[in-house]
Amino acid sequence: MLLFLEQLLNGLQLGVMLFLMSAGLTLVFGIMRVINLAHGSLYMVGAYVAATVFLHSGSFILGLLAAITAAGLVGMLVELLVLRRLYGRDHLDQVLATFGLILFFNELTVIIWGRQPLFMDVPDLLSGTIEVIPGAPYPSYRLAIILAGILVAAFLYLLFNHTRLGMQIRAGASNREMIAALGVNIKLLNTLVFGLGALLAGLAGAMAGPILAVESGMGESILILTFVVIVIGGIGSIRGALIAALMVGMVETLGGFMLPALLRLFLPAATADGAGASLASMSVYMLMAVVLVLRPHGLFPVHD
């Protein structure tokens, strides 16, 4: 039972991380209709910048701020230089171009930082463990990630539902020609939205730095799950991204832990572990398949 609760926390933490990634991606996909495979690269930029600033200044907060600034700027630059030319084009062109960006950014990090993964530590304040659930010490840094995710979700809720900018973004997601006709500068809006998405990816990358290896290509592993999240949540929907990210986080974590245990009931241990591990890595995709059968446009479709 203790273990189960702890795994719930782990699932929540993964879900929060996925939410930060998918919130930006779903906006870009929903509003600009662009498939941006390079979203994971912005996550990597965040992690690299955070680790570098952390290494030189010793301050985690400074690293975090530098990371989101850098990722936001890089994101807007990419929008201006590359993506802007792709809005009217076929999805295949966009996939090709943004895949090229992935290769570009991966090589760029190798050129700038070398092949050696960077080191980044958790801030001293959060280096310990806390017994949120009595008997199961939980790393306080991971709790901080959960907290940060909740704050970002609240911020996005306020931004989208209670500001003029948010209203325009939502309007852009449902009908972009109409709001352009109404005199909203859709080009500027696109750049801003892209910058916001990049900033969130950078934040996710910076927060992942102390947990994961900061290395070239680190964005790709989370990118796939991020796409699963936005497809389940409904493309363009922030609310959908939040719910779907938590679902995927839970399924991914609990699947890896419960499936082998379940299979052990009627299979020999070694077979059960092997099969369980394989099934667990499929579980997220099975979830996606089920959701798409029941609701072909995702849980919270924006376009019908």
Partner 1 sequence: MRGFIVTAALAALCSISGNIVASAPVKIGMVTTLSTKAGYLGEDIRDGFRLAMDLEGGMLGGVPVELLVDDDGRDPGKGKQIAERFMQRDGVKIMTGIVFSNVAMAVVPKVVRDGVIYISPNAGPSALAGKGCHENYFNVAWQNDNLHEAVGQYATDSGFQNIYLLAPNYPAGKDALQGFKRYYKGNVAGEVYTKLGQSDYAGELAALRAAKPDAVFFFLPGGMGINFIKQYAQAGLNKEIPLMGPAFSFDQRLLKAVGDAAVGVVNGSQWNHDLENDANLLFVEAFEKTYGRMPTLYASQGYDAARLIGSALKQVGGDLSDMSAFRAALRKADFASVRGAFKFGSNQHPVQDIYVREVVRTEAGDITNETRKKVFANHRDAYAAECAM
Contact positions vs partner 1 (CB under 8 A): 2-3, 6-7, 10, 13-14, 115-119, 121-122, 127-129, 136-139, 141-142, 210-218, 221-222, 253-254, 256-257, 260, 269-270, 273-274, 277-278, 280-281
Nearest distance from residue 291's CB to partner 1, in Å? 22
In angstroms, the CA 301 to CA 197 distance is 19
Question: Diameter of the chain by CA atoms?
Answer: 67
Nearest distance from residue 222's CB to partner 1, in Å? 8
Residues 6+ apart with CB under 8 A from 113: 48, 52, 216
Taking the least distance from each CB to partner 1, the nearer of 49 and 118 is 118
The CA-CA-CA angle for residues 68, 72, 78, to 5°, reads: 145
Nearest distance from residue 75's CB to partner 1, in Å? 22
Is residue 139 helix, strand or coil? strand
Nearest distance from residue 211's CB to partner 1, in Å? 6
Nearest distance from residue 25's CB to partner 1, in Å? 18
The CA-CA-CA angle for residues 77, 80, 82, to 5°, reads: 95
In angstroms, the CA 59 to CA 163 distance is 33
In angstroms, the CA 304 to CA 119 distance is 46
